[in-house]
């Protein structure tokens, strides 16, 4: 069928033609936004899920909805676990917010205070900032202690108040929250906590891998109650059908029932895979409707494509030992698995494997759903590992060379 009209789009953060099956969560977030705009309290949200389930596109959609309501939105993605990304991102984004607020209604005491806090914050965290001062007195001791956990709330509260004075509110969106350092996460939780206590119009919506709930809890014990942690996962069968059928029909094409069934089975209804199967079967099929035979025929090239472009990039970044660890997990199935069982599959102990496991977690390859358990962060990764390494070798630690 004509690739020019192919409506499917596998790709990180690429908006799907049909954002299927997320209505309930979108409504929860919209209610939270409207409450905050109405001066009421709303619980902050951290959406959690594996890679490719649609967290980023959902977050982007929520940003659009917040903007449409007149909220002042800040959005950024934490690129990696090295730390230090939060402060510059906040300074740049809040500088822009203050400029917009100033356009809505000139300066005023509240805005001056917020601008002073931002200047202090930028200076103490050594972020280059050439923003407006709005005639602010930079001498006030505000957001300038150098302790992020103190300063981030001291910065955000006056900004949110200034927004509130203009009948707006601040909506902060952060993607890949699990990459924030413990200190950054603590500061963020503290800011959310303060905002709730002081009743300022501020809403935080984050997205990240499933370990984030545990990480947030470790950083600040009250974080467990501070946030809602809706789990984003595979789509329901009905939503998965809609994700395939609606975009096809918009282009005047369709899938047969059997074709849909087959795709649902092979993708396990994970959004990224639904897009991939949709795209490939569309291009391979001779005519509409796309049939089960078309799906079967496209299968091998889809798997080859995914291996090369989706799974392989992650696999190639791992050391040999890390690959062995992943292979042992695959031996046990899709997971999550007990960490002890993984060690047993490699004929060794969890203690010995602890460093490998740690580095795989910080690389975002695996995560710990709860204590003593380990799972892949990417759906269907077990099948890939078995294709890459057909047999499982027992763990052989390298012999230490005498130094």
Ligand X SMILES: Nc1ncnc2c1ncn2[C@@H]1O[C@H](COP(=O)(O)OP(=O)(O)O)[C@@H](O)[C@H]1O
Shortest Å, Cβ 59 to ligand X: 8
146 binds, among Mg ion, ligand X, none (CB under 5 to 8 A by kind): none
Tell me which residues in 274-293 interact with ligand X (CB under 6 A): 274-275
Residue number, 13 or 372, with CB nearest to ligand X: 13
Residue number, 6 or 56, with CB nearest to Mg ion: 56
> Which DSSP category does 398 fall into?
P
Could you say whether residue 260 binds ligand X (CB under 6 A)?
no
| 3-state per-residue secondary structure call for the chain | CCHHHCCCCCCCCCCCCCCCCCHHHHHHHHHHHHHHHCCCCCCEEEEECCCCCCHHHHHHHHHHHHHHCCCEEEEEECCCCCCCCHHHHHHHHHHHHHHHHHHHCCCHHHHHHHHHHHHHHHHHCCCCCCCCCCCCCCCCCCCCCCCHHHHHHHHHHHHHHHHHHCCCCEEEEEECHHHCCHHHHHHHHHHHHHHHHHCCCEEEEEEECCCHHHHHHHHCCCHHHHEECCECCCCCHHHHHHHHHHHHHHCCCCECHHHHHHHHHHHCCCHHHHHHHHHHHHHHCCCCCECHHHHHHHHHHHHHHHHHHHHHHHHHCCCHHHHHHHHHHHHCCCCCEEHHHHHHHCCCCHHHHHHHHHHHHHCCCEECCCCCEEEECCCCHHHHHHHHCCCCCCCCCCCCCCC
Could you say whether residue 23 binds ligand X (CB under 6 A)?
no
Residue 338 has phi, psi (to 5 degrees) of -70, 135
Could you say whether residue 21 binds ligand X (CB under 6 A)?
yes
Residue number, 22 or 75, with CB nearest to ligand X: 22
Could you say whether residue 377 binds Mg ion (CB under 5 A)?
no
Residue number, 87 or 178, with CB nearest to ligand X: 178
Shortest Å, Cβ 53 to Mg ion: 9
Could you say whether residue 243 binds ligand X (CB under 6 A)?
yes
Shortest Å, Cβ 344 to Mg ion: 33
Segment near ligand X (CB under 6 A); pick from 113-121, 141-149, 195-203, 269-277: 269-277
**Separation of alpha carbons 157 and 137, rounded Å:** 17
Could you say whether residue 231 binds ligand X (CB under 6 A)?
no
Tell me which residues in 54-113 interact with ligand X (CB under 6 A): 54-57
Residue number, 55 or 220, with CB nearest to Mg ion: 55
Residue from 1, 6, 7, 10 binding ligand X (CB under 6 A): 10
Could you say whether residue 53 binds ligand X (CB under 6 A)?
yes
Shortest Å, Cβ 273 to Mg ion: 15
Segment near ligand X (CB under 6 A); pick from 47-55, 128-136, 178-186, 300-308: 47-55
16 binds, among Mg ion, ligand X, none (CB under 5 to 8 A by kind): ligand X
Residue from 51, 190, 269, 314 binding ligand X (CB under 6 A): 51
Residue from 1, 20, 195, 345 binding ligand X (CB under 6 A): 20
10 binds, among Mg ion, ligand X, none (CB under 5 to 8 A by kind): ligand X
Tell me which residues in 46-85 interact with Mg ion (CB under 5 A): 55-56
Work out the end-to-end distance of the chain between its first and last CA atoms, rounded to an integer number of angstroms.
64
Shortest Å, Cβ 16 to ligand X: 3
Binding interface with Mg ion (CB under 5 A): 55-56
Binding interface with ligand X (CB under 6 A): 9-14, 16, 18-22, 49, 51-57, 243, 271-272, 274-275
């Amino acid at each position: 069928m004509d690739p020019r009209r192919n409506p499917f789009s596998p790709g990180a953060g690429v908006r799907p033609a049909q954002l299927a099956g997320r209505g309930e969560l979108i409504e929860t977030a919209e209610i939270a936004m409207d409450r905050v705009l109405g001066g009421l309290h709303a619980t902050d949200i951290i959406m959690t899920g594996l890679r490719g389930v649609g967290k980023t596109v959902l977050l982007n959609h929520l940003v659009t909805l917040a903007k449409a309501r007149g909220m002042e939105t800040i959005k950024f993605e934490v690129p990696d676990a090295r730390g230090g990304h939060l402060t510059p991102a906040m300074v740049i984004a809040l500088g822009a917010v203050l400029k917009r607020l100033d356009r809505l209604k000139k300066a005023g005491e509240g805005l001056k205070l917020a601008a002073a806090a931002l200047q202090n914050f930028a200076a103490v965290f050594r972020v280059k900032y050439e923003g407006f001062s709005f005639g602010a007195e930079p001498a006030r001791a505000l957001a300038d202690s150098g302790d992020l956990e103190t300063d981030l709330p001291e910065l955000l509260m006056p900004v949110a108040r200034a927004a509130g004075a203009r009948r707006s509110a601040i909506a902060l969106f952060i993607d890949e929250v699990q990459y924030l350092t413990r200190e950054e996460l603590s500061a963020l939780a503290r800011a959310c906590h303060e905002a709730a206590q002081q009743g300022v119009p501020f809403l935080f919506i984050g997205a990240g891998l499933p370990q984030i709930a545990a990480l947030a809890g470790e950083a600040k014990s009250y974080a467990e109650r501070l946030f809602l942690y809706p789990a984003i996962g595979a789509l329901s069968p009905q939503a998965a059908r809609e994700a395939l059928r609606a975009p096809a029909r918009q282009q005047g094409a369709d899938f047969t029932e059997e074709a849909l069934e087959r795709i649902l089975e092979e993708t396990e209804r994970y959004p990224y895979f639904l897009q991939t199967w949709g795209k490939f079967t569309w291009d391979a099929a001779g005519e509409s409707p796309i049939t089960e035979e078309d799906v079967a025929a496209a299968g091998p090239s889809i798997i080859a494509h995914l291996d090369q472009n989706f799974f392989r990039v992650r696999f190639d970044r791992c050391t040999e030992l890390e690959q062995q660890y992943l292979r042992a997990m695959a031996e046990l199935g899709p997971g999550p698995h007990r960490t002890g069982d993984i060690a047993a599959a490699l004929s060794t102990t969890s203690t010995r494997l602890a460093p490998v496991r740690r580095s795989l977690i910080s690389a975002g390859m695996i995560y710990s759903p709860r204590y003593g358990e380990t799972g892949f962060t990417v759906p269907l990764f077990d099948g890939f590992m078995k294709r890459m390494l057909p047999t499982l070798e027992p763990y052989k630690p390298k012999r230490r060379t005498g130094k």
